[in-house]
Chains A and B, each alone.
Chain A
Amino acid sequence: MTVSLKDLDDGQFTERYGADRFTATVLASRMRYIVQHMCTGLLNNAFSLILRDWYDFAATISGPPEQNYPMSSVSNSLAMFLGTMSEAVRNTVEEYGPENLRPGDVVICNDPYRAGNHVNDICFIRPVFAGDRLISFVTLRAHQLDMGGVVPAGFSGTKRNVYENGLVIAPTLLYRDNKPIKSAFNLIFDNARYCALLLPDIKTIYANLLLGEQLILESVERYGVEAYLGAIRYSTDVSAEAMRTALAELPDGVYEAEEGIDCDGIDDTIDYRIKVKITKSGPRMELDFSGTSPQARTSINAGILDTKTAVGVALKFLIDPATPFTSGAYRDIDIVLPAGTFISATPPDGAVFLYWESTGPVLLAVFRALEKALGRKAVGGDYGSLNIHNANGVLEDGTPWVTTAQCGGEHGPWGATEAGDADSYSVVYQANNLDPATEAIESELPAVVLRKEYTPDSGGAGTNRGGAAVLKDTLYLTAAEHWSSPLHTKSPSGLGVYGGKSGGLGATWVFHADRGDVVRRKELIGTADEVYAEATPVAGMLNPDTKCIDPDGKYFYFASTPVWHTKPHAVFRYLTNGGGGWGDPTERDPERVKRDVRDEYVTIEGAYRDYGVVITGDPLTDPEGLQVDEAATRKRRAEMAAR
Chain B
Amino acid sequence: MPREEVSEEDLHALGVDLARDFPGSTAADFRRYPVLSEGGWFIAVKHQRTLESVAREPGPLLGPIILASDGLDVN
Once the chains are docked, how many angstroms separate the CA of A301 from the CA of B65? Answer: 14
A330 interface neighbour in B38, B44, B65, Cβ under 8 Å: B38
- Chain A contact-residue range equals 35 or more
Do A113 and B62 form a contact, CB below 8 Å, given A240-B38, A327-B38, A335-B37? yes
B42's closest neighbor in chain A, by CB?
Answer: A334
| B4-49 at interface with A (beta carbon < 8 Å) | 33-40, 44, 46, 49
* B 31-75 binary contact with A (CB < 8 Å = 1; else 0): 001111111100010100111100000000111111111000000
Q: Mark A334-349, 1 if CB is under 8 A from B, else 0.
A: 1111110000101110
Are A304 and B50 touching (Cβ within 8 A)?
no
A333 to B44, CA, bound (A): 12
A347 lies within 8 A of B67 (CB): yes
Inter-chain contact B36/A304, CB cutoff 8 Å? yes
Please tell me if A544 contacts chain B, counting CB pairs below 8 Å: no
Q: Is the CB of A331 within 8 A of B37?
A: yes
A546 within 8 A of B: no
Contact A113/B67 with A284-B50, A284-B51, A337-B1 known, Cβ cut-off 8 Å: yes
Contact B51 A334 (CB under 8 A): yes
A114 contacts B36, CB within 8 Å? no
Most buried by B among A90, A114, A282, A286: A286
**Inter-subunit contact A334/B64 (CB<8 Å):** no
A281 within 8 A of B: yes
Q: Is the CB of B35 within 8 A of A290?
A: no
Interface residues of A in 342-371 (CB under 8 A from B): 344, 346-348
Query: What is the minimal beta-carbon distance from B21 to any residue of chain A, in angstroms?
Result: 14
- In whole Å, how far is A325's beta carbon from the nearest beta carbon of chain B? 12
From B52, B62, B65, contact of A284 by CB (8 A): B52
**Given that A170-B69, A334-B51 are contacting pairs, would A68 and B62 also be in contact in the complex, using a CB cutoff of 8 Å?**
no
- B39 vs chain A, min Cβ distance (A): 5
A336 to B4, CA, bound (A): 13
Closest chain B residue to A305, Cβ basis? B36
Chain A residues with Cβ under 8 A from B33's Cβ? 336
A160-174 interface bits toward B, Cβ cutoff 8 Å, 1 = contact, 0 = none: 001000000010000
- Rounded to whole Å, the gap between the CB of B26 and the closest CB of chain A is 18
Q: How far is the CA of A374 from the CA of B7 in the complex (A)?
A: 37
The answer to whether residues A338 and B35 also contact, given A282-B50, A290-B1 and a CB cut-off of 8 A, is no
Which among B35, B37, B51, B65 is the interface contact of A113 at CB below 8 angstroms? B65
Bound CA–CA A568/B65 (angstroms): 45
Contacts of B37 in A (CB 8 A): 330-331, 333-335
Whether B35 and A334, one on each chain, are in contact in the complex, defined by CB atoms closer than 8 angstroms, is yes
Q: How far is the CB of B58 from chain A (nearest CB, A)?
A: 9
Report the tally of A-B residue pairs with Cβ distances under 8 A.
83
**A303 CA to B52 CA, complexed, in Å:** 27
- Our pick among A70, A290, A337, A347 for the contact of B36 (Cβ within 8 Å) is A337
Closest-by-CB residue of A relative to B56 is: A334
Minimum distance in angstroms from A164 CB to a CB of chain B: 14
- A327's contact among B35, B39, B50, by CB below 8 Å, is which? B39
Question: Which residue from A282, A288, A339 sits with its C-beta under 8 Å from B65?
Answer: A339
A407: chain B residues at CB < 8 Å are none
Q: Which residues of A contact B61 (CB under 8 A)?
A: 90-91, 94-95
Q: Tell me which residues across on chain A come within 8 A of B46, comparing CB atoms.
A: 286, 334
Whole-angstrom CA separation of A282 from B52 in the bound complex: 10
Contact among A91, A114, A288 with B1 in the assembled complex (CB-CB below 8 Å) = A288
Least CB distance, A233 to chain B, in whole angstroms: 12
The reply to whether B51 and A304 form a contact with Cβ atoms under 8 Å apart is: no
* CA of A304 to CA of B39, assembled, Å: 14
- Does A87 sit within 8 A of B, measured CB to CB? yes
Known: A281-B51, A336-B1. A328 touches B67 (CB 8 A): no
* Any B CB within 8 A of the CB of A308: yes
Q: Which residues of B contact A329 (CB under 8 A)?
A: 38
**Looking across the interface, which residue of chain A has its beta carbon closest to that of B52?**
A284
A405 to B52, CA, bound (A): 44
Most buried by A among B51, B61, B63: B51
B55 CB, min distance to chain A CBs, angstroms? 13
Which residue of chain B is the closest to A114 with respect to CB atoms? B62
Name the residue of chain B whose CB is nearest to the CB of A239: B38
Give the nearest-CB partner of A339 in chain B: B64
Contact across chains for B69 and A304 when beta carbons are under 8 A apart: no
Q: Chain B residues with Cβ under 8 A from A470's Cβ?
A: none
Residues of chain A from 280 to 308 with CB closer than 8 A to chain B in the complex: 281-282, 284-286, 288, 290, 303-304, 308
Smallest CB-CB separation from A345: which chain B residue?
B65
A87 to B40, CA, bound (A): 7
Is A432's CB within 8 Å of the partner chain B?
A: no
Q: State whether A336 and B38 are in contact (beta carbons under 8 Å apart), knowing that A285-B51, A304-B65 are contacts in the complex.
A: no
Q: How far is the CB of B20 from chain A (nearest CB, A)?
A: 16
Bound CA span A68–B40, Å: 9
**Which positions 219-265 of chain A face chain B at CB distance < 8 Å?**
236, 240
Say yes or no: B68 contacts A348, CB within 8 Å: yes
A335 pairs with B52, CB closer than 8 A: no
> Would you mind naming 30 contact pairs between A and B with Cβ atoms under 8 Å apart?
A68-B39, A70-B38, A70-B39, A91-B40, A95-B61, A111-B67, A113-B62, A114-B62, A114-B67, A170-B69, A281-B51, A284-B50, A286-B35, A327-B38, A331-B37, A331-B38, A333-B37, A333-B38, A334-B35, A334-B36, A335-B36, A335-B37, A336-B34, A336-B35, A337-B1, A338-B1, A338-B64, A339-B65, A346-B65, A346-B66
Starting from the known contacts A240-B38, A282-B50, A331-B37, 13 additional A-B residue pairs (CB-CB under 8 Å) come to: A91-B61, A91-B62, A114-B62, A281-B51, A303-B65, A327-B39, A333-B37, A333-B38, A335-B35, A335-B36, A335-B37, A336-B36, A337-B1
Q: Which 3 A-B pairs rank lowest in CB-CB distance, beginning with the nearest?
A: A339-B64, A334-B35, A284-B51
